[in-house]
Amino acid sequence: MNQEVKDHIKNSLIKGVRLDGRGPQDLREISIELDVVTTAEGSARVKFGDAEVLAGVKMSVESPFPDTPEDGVLMVNAELLPLSNPDFETGPPGIDSIETSRVIDRGIRESGCVDTKKLCLVKGEKVWFMAVDVHPINYDGNLIDMGGLAAMAALKSANFPSIDKDHNVDYHEKTKKKLDISGLPIPITVCKIGDVLIVDPTDEEENAIDARLTVTSLDKDKLCSLQKGGAKPLSIEEIAEMVELALKKADEVRKKLSEVLK
């Protein structure tokens, strides 16, 4: 990225201004729509301003992993669609896609909000397999936070498809049964640009960051996953400040999602 643009972002932030007019710790306007894809068992569209992300859940009955014969499987996959941004290319997922997938996945998995034991149909033979796919449609930064929110919204909206006595799935018939979810893990990524901390970075801002920290939390004082990114180190004081900010912002987002789920 052009050094002048980076400097401009940095210098503006010192004055407390962002290129889109927001304050450093403001999120963009959030909208969450549920059940937007008819072919998925659950789905959600999340928008932060103009940035748009789609998440879909597909369920299937599979054999469990040999080391966890009584557990169902929950998997999150994110892909940086070249449709969503001029800088993304076709081809196998790059490290950015993989990191995004894994950070969202870890946040949901480690929160324990989905009890995989309850997804077991026949011990050692048949378990439910939940695949959550997350895709930016219009990419403008902050995919982990948007994708994590979209994934939770999609899981919450999902209905199990019907199965016969041999556990064959009939995708044309949805049941009323919902996935049992306790708690709402919400990832918030706090970015450090110069000495300023910001949340909900745009694509341009992401290219100018020195360091970032993604904190996934279940409530105001329950963290369930962390990921530090960016080239520069962070002091413990900075980490304390970033976690504090992330917990506060996660609470805002969690309230928004809870409203939509009502």
Tell me the number of residues near other proteins by CB under 8 A.
34
Please pick, from the candidates 4, 29, 38, 233, the single residue that binds other proteins as defined by CB under 8 A: 38
Three-state DSSP state, 177: strand
Please pick, from the candidates 5, 122, 137, 240, the single residue that binds other proteins as defined by CB under 8 A: 137
Please pick, from the candidates 17, 37, 121, 181, the single residue that binds other proteins as defined by CB under 8 A: 37
- The Cβ of residue 114 has, within 10 Å, a number of other Cβ atoms equal to 20
Distance (Å, rounded) from C-alpha 10 to C-alpha 49?
Answer: 22
Which residues between 46 and 75 bind other proteins (CB under 8 A)? 50, 52, 54, 56-58, 60
Cα distance from N-terminal residue to C-terminal residue, the chain: 43
Distance (Å, rounded) from C-alpha 173 to C-alpha 233?
Answer: 52
Please pick, from the candidates 92, 165, 231, 236, the single residue that binds other proteins as defined by CB under 8 A: 92
Please pick, from the candidates 30, 104, 127, 140, the single residue that binds other proteins as defined by CB under 8 A: 140
Please pick, from the candidates 17, 73, 81, 239, the single residue that binds other proteins as defined by CB under 8 A: 81
39 is a contact residue toward other proteins (CB under 8 A): yes
Distance (Å, rounded) from C-alpha 6 to C-alpha 178?
Answer: 46
User: What would the 3-class secondary structure string for 186-219 be?
Assistant: EEEEEEEECCEEEECCCHHHHCCCCEEEEEEEEE
Write the burial class of residue 44 (CB in 10 Å: 0-12 exposed, 13-18 middle, 19+ buried): buried
* Closer by beta carbon to other proteins, 145 or else 204: 204
* Closer by beta carbon to other proteins, 97 or else 227: 97
* Residue 20: both structure tokens together: 């889109």
Least distance in angstroms from the C-beta of 134 to other proteins: 10
Residue type, 42: G
- Part in contact with other proteins (CB under 8 A); list of ranges 20-28, 76-84, 112-120, 178-186: 76-84
List residues binding other proteins (CB under 8 A).
36-41, 43, 50, 52, 54, 56-58, 60, 77, 79, 81-86, 90, 92, 131, 133, 135, 137-140, 169, 171, 203
